[in-house]
Amino acid sequence: MDLATIGALLEHTPVRYERYGDVTPIAGAFPGQEVTVRAVLHSIRLVPTRRRRLVIIRARLADQSGQIDAVWFNQRHLLRVLAAGDELLVRGTVAAGSPRSINVKAHELLGRGGSEGLHTTGLVPVYSATEALPSARIRELADLARPYAQASPERLPARVRHRLGLMSRADALVGLHAPRSSDEARDARRRMVIEELLELQLGLLALRRMEQRRRPAHPLRPTRELSDAVRAALPFTPTPEQERALREIGREMRLEAPMRRLLQGDVGSGKTLVAVLAICQAVEAGTQAAVLVPTETLAEQHLRTLDALLAPAGLTPVLLTGKVPAAERERRLMAIRTGTAEVVVGTQALLSEGVTMHRLGLLVVDEQHRFGVEQRHTVAVRALDETARAAHILYMTATPIPRTLALTNYGDLTVSSIRGRPAGRGPVTTRWVRESGREDAYADLRAELRDGGQVYVVCPLVDGGDAAEARAATQEADRLREGPFREFQVGLVHGAMKADEKRAAMEAFAAGRTDVLVATTVVEVGIDVPNASAMLIEGADRFGLAQLHQLRGRVGRGTRPGLCLLFGEPTTDDGTRRLEAITQTTDGFRLAELDLQIRGEGAVLGVRQAGPTDLRYARLARDRKPLAQARQVARRILREDPTLQRAEHQPLRQAVEARFASIPRLMDA
């Protein structure tokens, strides 16, 4: 569990507290009650059972008021540990029947050192644990370590503690492990949360300062010649939300300070158009623009989209991925190096050695949510051209990031948000369908197809084999061709296909030659088929909430109303919560908040998007007020002492440098 030092043990925070009452006399323990009794053990024995794996230990306990039996299940080792005459504190539920007994939940042997009542009375801390290191053992070790909390160096300046009403670090560590009340446990946690978030905010603000000071960017002043041509060819008018985001981005791109802006928007909100018009501004100013995406499939999809949108401006984007043949790659590299390639689309290959941009003005990073803070910094450091100027960087995500995450994960970025969908888009209805409703759902989809619509069928696996727990795309395509959709053309696309095969399958669907497209999540982003009006998602409980929302965003992109059917039989509470949430709202910002609560925030500094956090105390879904306080304090401290050189700030400086160890000399920039 990476608890190698006393300091690490003291910072292993309880996940919750069990509230136990005071000691109850045995005579006052009644059936159904959960009580703690203090008694002397008179005898202990193994109770024979017919079930080989069931072990029952029964002991006779007595105090001055009476006697009662204590019953433990599957704890044979107690026969070696406990003996007649031992004094115990026993916590458990009193069972009905005769003789009276307690089904033991926790116990402790008195007179062997440690704090009396540690496991059985008052507020009892419960820790994340392992089979080899259970919570009770961690509780004992933390109790032994408590006196050393006074040696923990204070990190927060006294004036910050006074302003925010925070206890000392030493008192907070004691209060976490041995709180005398719920209020003390809450205040101790708040103190440690603010300290942790302050360290994070100081590092993120210093990171932004480092990138802005490292090298100036090209000031990109627009002529509007190219953007006006693109606008004139649009069959619609950009929304007010798109125009506002464009103004924010355009203003920053005119400056020499490198732009680091996150453009977040709901599925289908029109982020691509905003990026295209920003690209026009970069090219109008005499520089190049590049679009960086995480996968080759997405790069190819972006190329087709940009090619169509930029054609009225006379711009032809160039594709650069790892699969481009050597001779063709060299030709494209020359065009990029000389500046004749004004717009480039590619994967991480764009940032590899041997790729030199002639005059890079703007880098657009799509699917930004797949990158952590450290990965974004790497992109920013490498996004240079042969003039050694930094590029303006526009990060985009179709998975809206709640304001809480925008202030932490993306605290090193300014944020533009696009809410809502362009006018004229059809509404999307989402239904969760149990297996018993499958045939009725197929009937609804056939009616949609006969009415001229098209349907996606999304499967979680490519090819599952006989033991697959979920419907796999290849088998499902065959089944649907022969069964429910035999009167329609059924296509197939998945990530394991060759690029040409994938392209042909998607083009056939986009052109209407295919009625039903069976796919894996390869269609999650970048696919725009206005006539696709319905989607069926198999094993929907296997997908994350954000991914379900992304997939649903592939339908309802034209004027036809959209229908999204979710097939799933969840086996977990989280799976049920996800399916209930996705059917209740189409607001991606609300869903992002719910997803954060269900899955956790994942790694803040790294790339993991969900699950256990790399924050020790803070939880972004609930610590909104401490987050705002930490950000305000961080800004004030850096205004007064930009590199944290003052004596009162030295402990903070050391903590920030340790947290951002992968970015050398961060605080000195």
491 and 522 in a single domain? The answer is yes
Domain for residue 173, yes or no?
A: no
Q: What is the pLDDT of residue 352?
A: 74
Q: Could you tell me which of 415, 369, 411, 403 has the C-alpha nearest to residue 625?
A: 403
pLDDT, one tens digit per residue, over 629-666 is 999 999 999 999 999 999 999 999 999 998 888 788 88
Q: What is the pLDDT of residue 649?
A: 96
Q: What is the pLDDT of residue 102?
A: 95
399 and 450 in a single domain? The answer is no
Bridge-based pairing of strands 260-265 and 122-126 is: unpaired
Band of pLDDT at residue 245, cut at 50, 70 and 90: very high
304 and 204 in a single domain? The answer is yes
Residue 368 has pLDDT above 70, yes or no: no
Residue 521 has pLDDT above 60, yes or no: yes
Residue 431 has pLDDT above 60, yes or no: yes
371 and 457 in a single domain? The answer is no
585 or 406, which is more confident? 585
Band of pLDDT at residue 132, cut at 50, 70 and 90: confident
Q: What is the pLDDT of residue 366?
A: 86
Asked which of 572, 599, 626 is the last residue of a domain, the reply is 599
Q: What is the pLDDT of residue 369?
A: 58
399 or 20, which is more confident? 20
**295's tokens:** 């996968």
18 and 85 in a single domain? The answer is yes
**508's tokens:** 């056939």
Q: Give the residue-averaged pLDDT of 17-23.
A: 86
Band of pLDDT at residue 607, cut at 50, 70 and 90: very low
Band of pLDDT at residue 304, cut at 50, 70 and 90: confident
Side-chain-side CA neighbours of 489 within 13 Å: the count stands at 12
582 and 495 in a single domain? The answer is yes
**CATH number of the domain encompassing residue 477:** 3.40.50.300
**484's tokens:** 């429910």
Q: Which amino acid is at 566?
A: L
Q: Could you tell me which of 135, 115, 98, 104 has the C-alpha nearest to residue 41?
A: 104
Residue 14 CB contacts under 8 Å (≥ 6 apart), including other chains:
125, 126, 127, 176, 177
Residue 46 has pLDDT above 70, yes or no: yes
Residue 122 has pLDDT above 80, yes or no: yes
Which DSSP string do the residues of 572-617 spell out, in sequence order? SHHHHHHHHHHHH---HHHHHHHHHHHH----SSSS--SSS-S-SS
Q: Give the residue-averaged pLDDT of 114-129.
A: 85
Q: What is the pLDDT of residue 151?
A: 93
Residue 221 has pLDDT above 60, yes or no: yes
Q: Give the residue-averaged pLDDT of 134-159.
A: 93
Domain for residue 612, yes or no?
A: no
548 and 649 in a single domain? The answer is no
Domain for residue 355, yes or no?
A: yes
Q: Give the residue-averaged pLDDT of 329-347.
A: 91
Tell me the average pLDDT of the chain: 86
389 and 492 in a single domain? The answer is no
Separation between Cα atoms, residue 533 and residue 554, nearest integer Å: 9
**27's tokens:** 């005579």
Separation between Cα atoms, residue 669 and residue 667, nearest integer Å: 6
Domain for residue 605, yes or no?
A: no
pLDDT, one tens digit per residue, over 578-606 is 899 899 888 887 887 787 777 665 555 55
Bridge-based pairing of strands 87-95 and 343-346 is: unpaired
Domain for residue 31, yes or no?
A: yes
Q: What is the pLDDT of residue 400?
A: 67
261 or 266, which is more confident? 261
Side-chain-side CA neighbours of 114 within 13 Å: the count stands at 19
Q: What is the pLDDT of residue 410?
A: 67
pTM of the shown model: 0.73
Give the structural domain span for 201. 185-409+618-669
554 and 653 in a single domain? The answer is no
Cβ(349)–Cβ(328) under 8 Å? no
Q: What is the pLDDT of residue 384?
A: 61
Residue 557 has pLDDT above 90, yes or no: no
Cβ(184)–Cβ(620) under 8 Å? no
Q: Give the residue-averaged pLDDT of 376-398.
A: 75
Domain for residue 384, yes or no?
A: yes
630 and 564 in a single domain? The answer is no
pLDDT, one tens digit per residue, over 65-117 is 999 999 999 999 899 999 999 999 999 999 988 889 999 998 888 876 667 78
590 and 449 in a single domain? The answer is yes
Residue 230 has pLDDT above 90, yes or no: yes
490 and 373 in a single domain? The answer is no
Domain for residue 174, yes or no?
A: no
Q: What is the pLDDT of residue 376?
A: 62
Look at the chain and report how many structural domains it folds into.
Answer: 3
Residue 555 has pLDDT above 80, yes or no: yes
Domain for residue 354, yes or no?
A: yes
Q: What is the pLDDT of residue 573?
A: 85
